[in-house]
């Protein structure tokens, strides 16, 4: 895995979607997530890096290198650490400093001149002190071209640096100071127009690896960028965190302090044509400070295990959106910008207790109380050469409880059964994209979910077969989702809103199989269904169809009661490895890997092109390594069948577009660790 989207290949029921092909991502876990283009709201799935919660998922961009492990936890969490969520969390842990000296590097070269380089050095520097420095550089890999002029699009151009300093003044105390910086000037993936929703001009006929874009000089002058700008990022991310842990004997005190900063400039062509009908440039200046304190028992063998803690988070954000609609005639025909500020602050207290009874039965319960306040300020929408609209600020506050209760039973040495009920909570927020009327800034409500889960963790045949599985049911109230609002004489706009009542259910699991001496198989599977039980909103598809027929914007309201929630019903991913020694000094490993993702509706009740097609991808690798494992050489291929597939979709103005996935890549990687 080299980016967040790679997590789809290792976890069931997880979908990670890039927003318009950019570094901004949305997570869906067990079907729970929402499409937030502005990225100014907390998602239902929170990303952690080294125990630091990132309130905006984009902040985690570029940090997946020198990794130690990745954990994906579905369902409501927050009673043991960090931030309360309704959908779950993705925890990334990077390598820490080592007590002995080590260094290493890797170089990956692949199709389309893609290059990924990594290096690290780690070891002691003085008594009680050790360090680790790791870096990554990504270049090339762009596989799209513009059929109008042959221009190239999609090359990566980023670098990242992480440094850690560890101090152990005594056997009971650990202090770890970390810092990182990411610079990303990569080009993004352009869209493929699927249908003309407004107007009669035919959509461009482009191949799978082609896309059109435009950046008029008047627009680049407005946003302060050079002429000939391609869809691309201009991002800086940096931050620092301090971890302190001290063992007082019966209890351990842990403190995690972090400050994260995001500076983003992002140009996308959201009509996927050479016309300037929905060209967008976004700037974000955001920062977040978090402080967590945890007190827990030290001895992991005690029957009673407990943790108490408190969490504080403060974030500030300023965004500006610039739009070029000059070719969107006769409806608009102008350039426009919107800007706003966001202030947010949250505090929570949490606790979790478990007790192991005789008979290997463990009871556990947890409780969290959270207060969240956020306000949107100073929103201005300006048409160049026309009117300027100033909107008054809006605020929203929430104070709710979340928690869980459950029981686990170690039935045998190799079989664990568990059952738990969890209540999750996520605060409300604002839609702040292309605001035209004050009503668009009305905050959406907090989201809550009551989850029931029954699970199994087992090794029925030790060293041969391992099965982990879970079944779940989610009962949602005010589930947050991207809906639609119609602005008279303007058109439909996306609006984050609440579904009063909805539900989802399903199952997921992982099978690890070692049937033969040299054969190792891992298969993740996930199946989920969900329906809206009460969801009155504007039907975007019918509204667009009415305009196409009558040339008048009229809101076609609907209630999607009983309609499927649209998330992929079936997700599969896995791999098969054949591992064998060539001789006493060398070993080889080879085999295929695969991923399947079912169809996904991109709008509530979406059918036809509003439903993203399913796809299946096949890859393979062969690796040679010595017995010392100090180096390895790998040849690999992804999307071997060169399947045409799409990772997300959407509409800004005149066209509905898909974001295509990468074609076949063939590459090689050399790495060493000394």
Looking at residue 167, its pLDDT comes to 97
- Identify the H or E element spanning 546: helix 540-550
Report pLDDT digits (tens) over 426-437. Answer: 999 888 777 777
Q: What is the mean pLDDT of residues 261-270?
A: 94
Distance CA 190, CA 624 (A): 37
User: Which candidate, 166, 303, 281, 170, places its Cα nearest to that of 225?
Assistant: 281
Is the pLDDT reported for residue 2 higher than 70? no
Contacts of 416 (CB under 8 A, 6+ apart): 408, 409, 410, 456, 457, 458
Peptide linkage before 330 cis (omega within 30 of 0): yes
| Percentage with pLDDT > 90 across the chain | 71
Contacts of 487 (CB under 8 A, 6+ apart): 436, 437, 493, 553
Q: What is the mean pLDDT of residues 13-35?
A: 80
User: Which candidate, 429, 441, 330, places its Cα nearest to that of 381?
Assistant: 441
Is the pLDDT reported for residue 493 higher than 80? no
What's the CATH code, domain 4-673?
2.40.170.20
C-alpha distance from residue 241 to each of 51, 458, 479 (Å): 10, 37, 33
C-alpha distance from residue 91 to each of 4, 26, 88 (Å): 11, 15, 10
Looking at residue 665, its pLDDT comes to 97
Three-class secondary structure assignment of 186-206: CECCCCEEEEECCCCCCCCCC
Contact 87/44 with Cβ under 8 angstroms? yes
Ramachandran class of 286: left when φ > 0, alpha when ψ lies in -120 to 50, beta otherwise: beta
- Identify the H or E element spanning 129: strand 129-140
Q: What is the mean pLDDT of residues 121-125?
A: 97
Contact 559/529 with Cβ under 8 angstroms? no
Distance CA 303, CA 306 (A): 10
Residue 483 binned pLDDT confidence (cut-offs 50, 70, 90): confident
Residue 26 binned pLDDT confidence (cut-offs 50, 70, 90): confident
Residue 16 binned pLDDT confidence (cut-offs 50, 70, 90): confident
User: Which candidate, 78, 133, 128, places its Cα nearest to that of 103?
Assistant: 133
The residue ranges of every structural domain in the chain are 4-673
Q: Which residue has the higher pLDDT, 57 or 620?
A: 620
Report pLDDT digits (tens) over 498-516. Answer: 999 999 999 999 999 999 9
Q: What is the mean pLDDT of residues 450-458?
A: 96
Q: What is the mean pLDDT of residues 269-293?
A: 94
Q: What is the mean pLDDT of residues 201-211?
A: 90
Q: What is the mean pLDDT of residues 480-497?
A: 78
Is the pLDDT reported for residue 340 higher than 90? yes
Looking at residue 152, its pLDDT comes to 95
Looking at residue 17, its pLDDT comes to 81
Distance CA 270, CA 267 (A): 9
Looking at residue 121, its pLDDT comes to 98
364 - beta bridge partners? Answer: 354, 406
User: Which candidate, 26, 22, 55, places its Cα nearest to that of 429?
Assistant: 55
Q: What is the mean pLDDT of residues 631-637?
A: 97
Looking at residue 1, its pLDDT comes to 58
Looking at residue 403, its pLDDT comes to 95
Looking at residue 662, its pLDDT comes to 95
Residues comprising the chain, all counted: 674
The residue with tokens 């609209």 is 389
Distance CA 123, CA 104 (A): 12
Distance CA 599, CA 614 (A): 4
Is the pLDDT reported for residue 481 higher than 90? no
- Identify the H or E element spanning 264: strand 251-269
Report pLDDT digits (tens) over 524-556. Answer: 999 999 999 998 888 877 888 888 788 888 888
Is the pLDDT reported for residue 598 higher than 80? yes
Q: What is the mean pLDDT of residues 255-276?
A: 95
Contacts of 162 (CB under 8 A, 6+ apart): 63, 65, 66, 94, 132, 133, 134, 135, 178, 179, 180
Distance CA 405, CA 413 (A): 24
The first and second tokens of residue 31, run together, are 């079907």
Contact 509/468 with Cβ under 8 angstroms? yes
| Pairing assessment for the beta strands 570-583 and 447-461 based on DSSP bridges | unpaired
Looking at residue 288, its pLDDT comes to 96
Report pLDDT digits (tens) over 125-146. Answer: 999 999 999 999 999 999 999 9
C-alpha distance from residue 430 to each of 22, 39, 375 (Å): 21, 10, 9
Q: What is the mean pLDDT of residues 157-171?
A: 97
Q: What is the mean pLDDT of residues 277-297?
A: 95
């Amino acid at each position: 895995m080299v980016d967040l989207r790679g997590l789809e290949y290792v976890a069931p029921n997880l979908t990670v979607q890039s927003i318009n092909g950019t570094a901004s991502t949305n997570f869906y876990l067990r079907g729970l997530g929402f499409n937030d283009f502005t990225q100014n709201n907390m998602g239902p799935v929170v990303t952690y890096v080294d125990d630091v919660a990132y309130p905006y998922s984009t902040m985690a961009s570029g940090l997946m290198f020198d990794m130690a492990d990745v954990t994906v936890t579905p369902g409501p969490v927050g009673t043991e650490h960090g931030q309360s969520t309704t959908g779950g969390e993705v925890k990334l842990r990077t390598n820490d400093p080592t007590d002995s000296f080590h260094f290493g590097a890797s170089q990956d070269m692949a199709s389309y001149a893609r290059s990924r380089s990594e290096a690290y050095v780690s070891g002691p520097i003085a008594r009680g002190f050790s360090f680790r420095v790791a870096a990554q550089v990504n270049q090339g890999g762009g596989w799209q071209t513009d059929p109008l002029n042959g221009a190239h699009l999609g090359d990566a151009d980023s670098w990242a640096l992480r440094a850690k300093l560890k101090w152990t003044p005594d056997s009971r105390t650990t202090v770890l100071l970390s810092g990182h910086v990411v610079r990303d000037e990569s080009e993004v993936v352009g869209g493929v127009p699927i249908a003309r929703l407004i107007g009669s001009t035919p959509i461009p006929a482009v191949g799978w690896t082609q896309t059109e874009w435009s950046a008029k000089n008047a627009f680049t002058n407005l946003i302060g960028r050079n002429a000939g700008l391609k869809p691309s990022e201009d991002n800086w991310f940096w931050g620092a965190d301090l971890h302190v842990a001290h063992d007082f004997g019966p209890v351990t005190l842990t403190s995690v302090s972090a400050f994260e900063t995001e500076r983003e400039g992002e140009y996308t062509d959201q009509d996927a044509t050479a016309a300037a009908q929905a060209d967008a440039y976004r700037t974000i200046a955001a920062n977040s400070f978090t402080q967590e304190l945890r007190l827990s028992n030290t001895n992991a063998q005690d029957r009673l295990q407990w943790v108490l803690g408190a969490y504080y988070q403060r974030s500030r954000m300023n965004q500006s959106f610039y739009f070029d609609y000059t070719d969107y005639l006769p409806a608009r025909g102008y350039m426009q910008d919107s800007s706003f500020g966001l202030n947010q602050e949250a505090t929570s207290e949490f606790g979790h207790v478990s007790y192991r009874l005789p008979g290997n039965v463990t009871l556990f319960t947890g409780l969290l109380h959270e207060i969240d306040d956020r306000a949107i300020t100073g929103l201005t929408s300006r048409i160049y050469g026309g009117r300027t609209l100033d909107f008054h600020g809006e605020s929203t506050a929430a104070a709710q409880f979340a928690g869980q209760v459950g029981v686990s039973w170690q039935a045998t040495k190799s079989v664990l059964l568990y059952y738990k009920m969890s209540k999750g909570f996520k605060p409300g927020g604002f839609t702040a994209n292309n605001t035209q009327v004050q009503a668009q800034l009305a905050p959406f409500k907090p989201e809550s979910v009551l989850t029931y889960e029954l699970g199994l963790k087992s090794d029925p045949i030790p060293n041969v077969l391992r099965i982990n599985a879970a079944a779940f049911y989610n009962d949602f109230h005010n589930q947050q989702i991207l809906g639609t609002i119609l602005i008279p004489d303007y058109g439909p706009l996306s609006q984050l809103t609440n579904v009063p009542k909805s539900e989802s259910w399903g199952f997921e699991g992982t099978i690890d199989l070692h049937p033969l001496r040299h054969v190792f198989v891992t298969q993740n599977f996930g199946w989920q269904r969900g329906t809206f039980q009460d969801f009155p909103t504007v039907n975007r598809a019918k509204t667009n169809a009415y305009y196409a027929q009558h040339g008048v914007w009229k809101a076609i309201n609907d209630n999607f009661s009983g309609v499927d929630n649209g998330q992929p019903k079936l997700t599969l991913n896995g791999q098969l490895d054949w591992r064998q020694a060539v001789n006493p000094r060398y070993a080889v490993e080879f085999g295929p890997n695969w991923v399947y993702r079912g169809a996904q509706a991109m709008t509530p009740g979406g059918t036809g092109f509003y439903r993203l097609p399913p796809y299946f991808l096949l890859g393979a690798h062969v690796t040679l390594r010595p017995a010392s494992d100090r180096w390895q050489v790998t040849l690999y291929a992804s999307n071997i069948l060169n399947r045409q597939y799409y990772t997300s979709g959407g509409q800004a103005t005149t066209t509905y577009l898909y974001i295509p996935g990468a074609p076949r890549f063939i590459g090689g990687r050399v790495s060493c660790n000394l």
